[in-house]
A and B are shown apart, each in its own frame.
Chain A
Amino acid sequence: MYTQSLNEPSSRPVEALDDAERLARFQARIDAEEKIEPKDWMPDAYRQTLIRQISQHAHSEIVGMLPEGNWISRAPSLMRKSILIAKVQDEGGHGAYLYSAAETLGVSRAELIEQLLSGRAKYSSIFNYPTPTWADTAAIGWLVDGAAIMNQIPLCRCSYGPYARAMVRVCKEESFHQRQGYHAMLSLARGTPSQRRMAQDALNRWWWPALMMFGPPDTASHHTGLSVKWKIKRFTNDELRQKFVDFTVPQAEFLGLTVPDPVLRKGDDGHYITGALDWSEFNAVLKGNGPCNAERLRERRTAHDDGAWVREAAIAHAAKRSARAVA
């Protein structure tokens, strides 16, 4: 159950188990591929890691509605517009599933939203890049959602039950996002010379940021070790990045587009070898200095503030109706 009220510590005295013994039992359950559920004992660090990861994931979905939302009113056909609306609505839904999963760990929705709007919480750096052309929405679906799927499929087997179940739902919908993006990209790639240029330009701008979505290289990632041990993470950042490159390069070739990496080549083992990633750019965007960081947060705050009266009115209306029902 996703009930918050049941997550509160009960008044019953805690069993006489020391932390080491409880920790050993917990790890044994994880090793046996058992799911951890909200009311089960868990180490505080596990809880905090999950709250951080799930809420960042939720924030990313919500902020991720903005770059593509930019094109809803200017989609090139009614069909593309309907598809884009459905996709952006899905992103909002993914945010809602994930916030619910985070709330099972004892944090409130209001707290999480406040962390996002105050700028304290992080979200995926990819959404701080602009979408100046229609081809950007196509590239986002193909590359950004494609990279997200690589990350998310292993999360369906994550040790924390509510997160794993939310991810199953998300992944079912994500495949539509990636395919519609590739389909839109294909239309441009098979279109006029200027449409092909637009598609190539979008690939040029999204390729490297998409690779950085997998996070810092394994040698520099602070969170990987424990997360792997706790089966929150099943593969390292570099493993997933490699898989994404191996899948995506042939897809770009089919489109007749050029991956913007002059040293990209296929190694003897069949895996592609890419040029070096510019992590200074990644870190700058993560620290808030990307092209759109300020704009994204401003838009979220405005939406939140503009909706305040609706949230308050709905509560007042519900209270009035329930008072009338009692009378």
Chain B
Amino acid sequence: MSQTQDWPLFEIFVRAKSGLDHKHVGSLHAADAAMAIEHARDLYTRREEGVSLWVVKSSDIVASDPRDSDALFTPAADKIYRHPTFYDIPKEVETL
């Protein structure tokens, strides 16, 4: 049995229809980006799930560390004045 090295891993993003963002759907192995597109077409769009594909080598993605979540994301919680609903406007004022 021959043991070959795995092909590189690619992350796959699909645009479901024109006008929407590309959304991450999963990953697959391919020898290069061109093959990743071909495999992504077969694996993730067999039922008209998309009109456009992005493929990105997984090793090229930099992600935040879950242990930094508090430092990165919690400070926003006490800045509720950033939301329009923070402001009480008299009923008489329309279209605001």
Contact = CB atoms under 8 A, between A and B. Distances in A.
Contacts of B6: 108-110
B63 A3 contact: yes
Contacts of B4: 110, 308, 311-312, 315
Given A5-B58, A39-B65, A311 B28 contact: no
Contact of B66 (A2, A39, A89): A39
Nearest to A10: B65
B51 interface: no
Contacts of A86: 46
Contact of A315 (B3, B31, B43): B31
Interface string B56-86: 0011010101110000000000000000000
Interface string A104-124: 000011100010010000000
A92 to B, nearest CB: 9
Pick the most buried of B1, B4, B11: most chain A CB atoms within 10 A of its CB: B4
Contacts of A322: 32
Given A1-B24, A2-B58, A89 B46 contact: yes
B5 to A, nearest CB: 7
A103 interface: yes
A251 to B, nearest CB: 25
Contacts of B25: 169
B27 A2 contact: yes
Contact of A90 (B11, B31, B46): B46
B1 A117 contact: yes
Contacts of B22: none
B15 interface: no
A108 B7 CA distance: 11
Contacts of A93: 42-43, 46
A96 B61 contact: no
Contact of A314 (B27, B31, B43, B47): B31
Contacts of A40: 66
Given A103-B9, A166-B26, A304 B63 contact: no
Contact of A1 (B2, B5, B58): B58
Nearest to A322: B32
Interface of A: 1-6, 10, 12, 15, 37, 39-41, 86, 89-90, 93, 96-97, 100, 103, 108-110, 114, 117, 165-166, 169, 173, 301, 304-305, 308, 311-312, 314-315, 317-318, 321-322
Given A97-B43, A109-B6, A169-B25, 13 more contacts: A1-B63, A2-B11, A2-B58, A4-B9, A39-B65, A103-B9, A114-B3, A117-B1, A166-B26, A169-B26, A308-B2, A315-B7, A321-B32
